[in-house]
């Protein structure tokens, strides 16, 4: 004879007897959070840190702060001359080593790690910071854009982490810091290739965090909001170049919307010291990320409205003129340049004005 589940009348959502337990649980969670924030900080003094994408922008800013704290730093990027200019801005100079290489090439990654370990005799921290940005409507975004961003953000992380891991596993308290983006939590219009690759990068980083924690390696996945690094000059643009570049430059350079790279770096390094596995900075962007997670449909509607304000690139697509163009090669209206003066200064300070090898 078939049996059926008993019918149980629905009672109040929370009974009085359950309240003490809920309060106790909430208190315990609060104490855990406080203990985590007050835990003894990891020190970078004497540590060896390898930073990819270290020749400019956030990678360079982090290198300066790490060396000031007593770390020894290896900077990796594709352009040796650009690396040399970056290293010249860091003191003491003998705490910095430049190692040219491309994160897309597994052999380069292995060589850079081996060279770093041979020079400094150890490796304690890997910062996967190398990145590229393509700003364009989806209709103007090419397969090459998608492949390029995945090659750098996703495969680059795999290649570098695989090469570094044997050396990290023998260091107590080793760290892997994966610089993702708020674009891995918020689907930003006109950054389809960038967001897609960052979502993939963040997913991989989160799994690495779970699996490597038992082996003594702390993996931090970092989701910084918009930063004034000067990176607008080295982003690639397609479609209506003038409007596309102006919109991107304003979003990444306006005070109040973006944060200074130095502040972002301090927040990131403080969180890494505490061993945080997920880092969203600053506070305002943590709230934005939570809002997107809690109310995806309303936020999608808002982002759709934002998308309609941006150029659709239809004329350029019809004319076949959608080749990628570096931001520094696109004219910027005087009013926009005046509004992003802090970002323009950051570009000079953070070695962003030198021409790269290629937009990608």
Question: Active-site positions?
Answer: 194
Q: Are 352 and 231 in contact (CB under 8 A)?
A: yes
> Measured between alpha carbons, how far apart are the two ends of the chain, in Å?
69
How many CB atoms are located within 10 Å of the residue 93 CB? 11
Nearest partner of 76 among 11, 163, 16, judged by Cα:
163
């Amino acid at each position: 004879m078939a049996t059926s589940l008993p019918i149980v009348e629905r009672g109040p959502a929370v009974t009085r007897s359950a309240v003490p337990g809920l309060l106790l649980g909430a208190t315990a969670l609060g104490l855990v959070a406080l203990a985590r924030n007050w835990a003894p900080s990891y020190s970078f003094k004497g540590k060896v840190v390898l930073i990819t994408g270290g020749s400019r922008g956030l990678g360079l800013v982090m290198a300066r702060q790490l060396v000031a704290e007593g770390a020894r730093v290896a900077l990796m990027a594709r352009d040796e001359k650009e690396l040399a200019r970056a290293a010249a801005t860091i003191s003491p100079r003998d705490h910095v080593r430049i190692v040219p290489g491309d994160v897309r090439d597994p052999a380069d990654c292995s060589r850079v790690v081996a060279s770093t370990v041979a020079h400094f005799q150890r490796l304690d921290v890997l910062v996967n910071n190398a990145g590229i940005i393509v700003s364009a409507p989806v209709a103007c975004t090419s397969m090459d854009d998608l492949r390029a961003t995945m090659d750098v953000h996703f495969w680059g992380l795999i290649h570098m982490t695989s090469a570094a891991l044997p050396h990290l596993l023998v260091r107590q308290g080793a760290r892997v810091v994966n610089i993702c983006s708020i674009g891995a939590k918020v689907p930003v219009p006109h950054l389809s290739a960038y967001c897609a690759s960052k979502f993939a990068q963040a997913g991989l980083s989160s799994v690495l965090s779970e699996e490597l924690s038992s082996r003594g390696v702390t993996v931090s996945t970092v989701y910084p909001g918009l930063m004034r690094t000067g990176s607008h000059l080295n982003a690639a643009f397609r479609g209506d170049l003038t409007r596309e570049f102006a919109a991107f430059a304003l979003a990444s350079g306006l005070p109040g919307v973006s944060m200074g790279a130095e502040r972002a770096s301090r927040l990131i390094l403080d969180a890494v010291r505490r061993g945080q596995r997920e880092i969203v900075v600053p506070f305002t962007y943590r709230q934005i990320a939570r809002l997107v997670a809690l109310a995806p449909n309303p936020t999608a509607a808002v982002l759709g409205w934002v998308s309609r304000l941006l150029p659709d690139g239809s004329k350029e697509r019809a004319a076949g003129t959608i080749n990628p163009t570096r931001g520094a090669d696109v004219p910027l209206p005087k009013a926009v340049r005046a509004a992003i003066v802090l970002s323009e200064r950051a570009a000079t300070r953070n070695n962003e004005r030198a021409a790269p090898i290629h937009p990608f």
